[in-house]
A and B are shown apart, each in its own frame.
Chain A
Amino acid sequence: MTDAPPLEIHDLTVAYHKKPVLWGIDLVVPRGKLVGIVGPNGAGKSSLIKAAMGLLPLSSGWVKVFGEPVAKNFRRVGYVPQRESVDWDFPVSVMDVVLMGRYGRLGLLRRPGKADRDIARECLEKVKMLPYASRQISNLSGGQQQRVFLARALAQESDLYFMDEPFAGVDAATETAIIALLHELKDKGKTLMVVHHDLPTARNYFDMLLLLNMRVVAFGPTEQVFNYETLQQTYGGRLTILSEVAEAVRAKG
């Protein structure tokens, strides 16, 4: 099992209301890499990581996490959703949110214990948010909210992480802190798939890049993949035919 790649995707197609958003994705991600997922708006970046985690119905293809279907390997997968995906006025404290990272390991109906609280506290310390543990989450800045989500993912103690735009709307200090943390995780042999929207920094932040625009345009080590041609392919208007077909499929269905 240790030999199986953290993430293997074969011929994956995903559709929203019959309109395909991802076409025939093939991907094998090696262990211990920090992978940036880059592409224009509507390229299917979030859909790809959601599909990989089994959160979206697949039109075709399959996903394996460490050689097994993700449904059998939830514990080895950590997730940082987009910050706007939750209601920050929800009546919970920072600590409560980070403890949710332990829920997957606890399983159903078991309550978090002291050990879980200790781990949650350590994770908060790693993102420098321990002093805020008992705060209600609406009193946090954008960068602090992102750190809380990151701490929750750390508390999952997973081997493969999916992060949806963890740098969106955070301050410079938080961005630096997050990238340092990601490198630390990578050095521990974790694999990280990070959706990123800023091309200039993508080049410096990630070992590998996945250029995505409804299909995989390029995937490989950053220095090989990050060039004019592939970026032109990803962001330029060359994929219009694909989106036209997608529209036609939707209209027919």
Chain B
Amino acid sequence: MNHSATISVRTNRTAVRRLSPLSSLLSPLPSPLLPLSSTFSPLSRPLYLLSSLFYLLLGAPSAHAARIGDISETKLWEQALRFFTFQDPAVRYALAGSMLLGVTCGLLGSFIVVRKMALVGDALSHAVLPGVALGFLWNMSKDPVAIFIGATVAGLLGTAVVSLIKQTTRLKEDTALGLVLASFFAVGICLVTMIQRLPTGNKSGIDKFLFGQAAAISEGDVRLMAVVTVLAIATIVLGYKEFLVTSFDAVFARAVGFPVQVIHYTLMLLLAFAVVIALQAVGVVLVSAMLITPAAAAYLLTDRMSRMLWLAALFGMVAGAVGAFLSFLGNNLPTGPFMVLGATAVFGLAFLFGPRHGVVAKWWRQRSVTQRTQRENTLKAVYHVLEGREFKGEGVSLRELAERRRETVEEAAREADSLRHHAQATLAEDGNLIVLTPDGWQRACAIVRNHRLWELYLTHEAQIAADHVHEDAEKIEHVLGEETVRELERRLKYATRDPHGRAIPGLADLRRGAGTEHRDPVVGYGRGS
């Protein structure tokens, strides 16, 4: 079935003309805006869906160029240049507004996250919708001030209802939040739908409040956003200490005489303001993500509240700018989802690559510990082989190591190579003979000593049977610090034999090992000589 041919007739010719070569290949795909008409058989639906997705990802930016007549740039970087140099006022307001709201949301969101109030932000943001609608109805226009007041009042009413439910019933906060979130949102949707059916309502753009549209930000909106941002920054700078102590330990803050309730409601009020200014660009549905996501990313990257605030503000700003830009590229697609995706990308990076708490860093640390443990086990095996022949003879052959560790010679060779790589051994006789370096010898002695000391400690002090202690010591030997070892030695009165009667390597062995490579063959190493 050749549906692409049928569709291309309906495709905008201007768009095709201005497309870059890559996109022009894809341009004859059906636009998702076209109705799923009867010309498609049920079988072609998945194909349609797939091609629509392609269209969204690649075709949409080009379609934008086709729609707005005065834009001739079609390359991404040209559009970016045009966007970020503020060539037209609408873009200027959209970008400035998005960045301002990002900063405010990031700052206040940080406190929401550390206070474990993320759901409160979510409930608050949904609860403002009826207020937005009522603010619009006030004088049937998108008056920023009326909407701001309506939304703030609705948001605060929502939080008040949450407190009321919590205090008067047995229901807990999460349930109360869920109730308020859903019911207020439902009322809001009803009102918005009604407004859209009014004769003047259709052009109102009130539906933009659901998913956000940065392009709809007016000069008045930006002014309001700037006022709220300045207010939020000033309050946090002045009251940093108060916000910090009430977030960390509210009871203590009350005990030193701080008006904890007032501080809490100040924060809630600022939060309501932040949500309301973000509505226009992010939309009711996703605004809580702008509170939580940048702050959560910042939380993963730092251990200090002040740094967290800086980072969250920065991430919020970047997410705001990215969202506004992508929305602009996609011919005024809803801004909210793109901002949230931008913030989520930052969070994803912090989650994966954070230096301390990141998944990759953790994995890397885990891996290096595993490798070190493995090397130490090899060293221990080498020691055991040497011990088995009373420290006579030159080095340990791969075969001996393999036998000792019950593995193949290839595996033994790999382990020997790892030792050589870390300068703990040199390989002689074509890599068949492992000779420990002073470093390697010391580490081998230390590991064997740790193992035997720990076994002795467990049997003596903890009264554990001698045949129960080996497994435990296998793990402990790799983690005992020098200080603990000294303490163990003291407690065990510098014992020289482990519970199985084998010698515990002492300081003398460590020193003697220093000359392993050129040692006197008669003396050998080990305590026996």
Contacts and interface: CB of A to CB of B under 8 A. Distances in A.
Check if A and B associate.
yes
Interface of A: 50, 53-55, 71, 74-75, 77, 79, 81, 85-87, 90-93, 96-97, 100, 103-104, 106, 108-109, 111-112, 136, 138, 152, 156
Contact of A86 (B240, B241, B249, B299): B249
A108 B251 CA distance: 16
Contacts of A50: 251
A90 B252 contact: no
A71 B257 CA distance: 7
B171 interface: no
B32 interface: no
Contact of B305 (A71, A92, A104): A92
Contacts of A112: 241
Given A86-B249, A92-B248, A77 B302 contact: no
Contact of A77 (B240, B247, B255, B304): B255
B243 to A, nearest CB: 11
B226 interface: no
A93 B303 contact: yes
Contacts of B302: 91
A104 B244 contact: no
B238 interface: yes
Contacts of B239: 108-109
B153 interface: no
10 contacts: A50-B251, A87-B248, A91-B302, A92-B304, A96-B305, A100-B245, A100-B248, A104-B257, A104-B258, A108-B239
A86 B248 contact: yes
Nearest to B247: A90
Given A91-B302, A91-B304, A91-B308, A74 B245 contact: no
Contact of A85 (B241, B242, B249, B305): B249
Contacts of A77: 255
B257 A90 contact: no
Contacts of B486: none
Q: State the main secondary structure of chain A at its contact with B.
A: mixed
Interface in B230-244: 238-242, 244
Nearest to B299: A91
A45 to B, nearest CB: 15
Contact of A106 (B241, B247, B249): B241
B176 interface: no
B244 A96 contact: yes
Contacts of B114: 87, 90-91
A96 B253 CA distance: 14
A71 B256 CA distance: 9
Nearest to B304: A91
B118 to A, nearest CB: 14
B257 A74 contact: yes
Given A90-B114, A91-B304, A103 B248 contact: no
B258 A53 contact: no
A104 to B, nearest CB: 3
A91 B254 CA distance: 21
B252 A100 contact: yes
A103 B254 contact: no
Contacts, number: 81
A156 B256 contact: yes
A93 B302 CA distance: 11
A103 B255 contact: no
B303 A97 contact: no
Contacts of B240: 111
B248 A81 contact: no
Contacts of A97: 248
Contacts of A54: 254
B252 A79 contact: yes
B255 A53 contact: yes
Contacts of B307: 91
A103 B258 contact: yes
Nearest to B259: A108
A227 B305 CA distance: 50
Given A103-B245, A109-B242, 8 more contacts: A50-B251, A74-B255, A79-B256, A81-B255, A91-B307, A100-B244, A103-B256, A111-B241
Interface in B14-56: none
A109 B238 contact: yes
Contact of B304 (A53, A81, A93): A93
Contacts of B241: 103, 106, 109, 111-112
Given A74-B257, A91-B305, A103-B245, A81 B238 contact: no
Nearest to A72: B257
What 6 A-B pairs are tightest by C-beta distance, nearest first? A104-B256, A74-B257, A136-B303, A79-B255, A86-B249, A91-B305
Contacts of B238: 109
B415 to A, nearest CB: 34
Interface string B111-130: 00010100000000000000
Highest count of chain B CB atoms <10 Å: which of A50, A93, A104:
A104
Interface in B299-322: 299, 302-305, 307-308
Contacts of B255: 53, 55, 74, 77, 79, 81, 104
A81 B257 contact: no
Contacts of A103: 241-242, 245, 253, 256, 258
The listed residue with most B CB atoms (<10 A of its CB), out of A91, A106, A152, A156, is: A91
A184 B252 CA distance: 23
A96 B243 CA distance: 13
Count chain B CB atoms within 10 A of each CB in A90, A106, A156 and give the residue with the most. A90
Nearest to B303: A136
Contacts of B242: 103, 108-109
Contacts of A100: 244-245, 248-249, 252
Most buried by A among B239, B247, B256: B256
Nearest to A73: B257
A90 B299 CA distance: 9
A230 B253 CA distance: 36
Contacts of B253: 103
Contacts of B245: 100, 103
A34 B114 CA distance: 36
Contacts of A81: 249, 251-252, 255
Nearest to A100: B245
A46 to B, nearest CB: 10
Interface in B191-249: 238-242, 244-245, 247-249
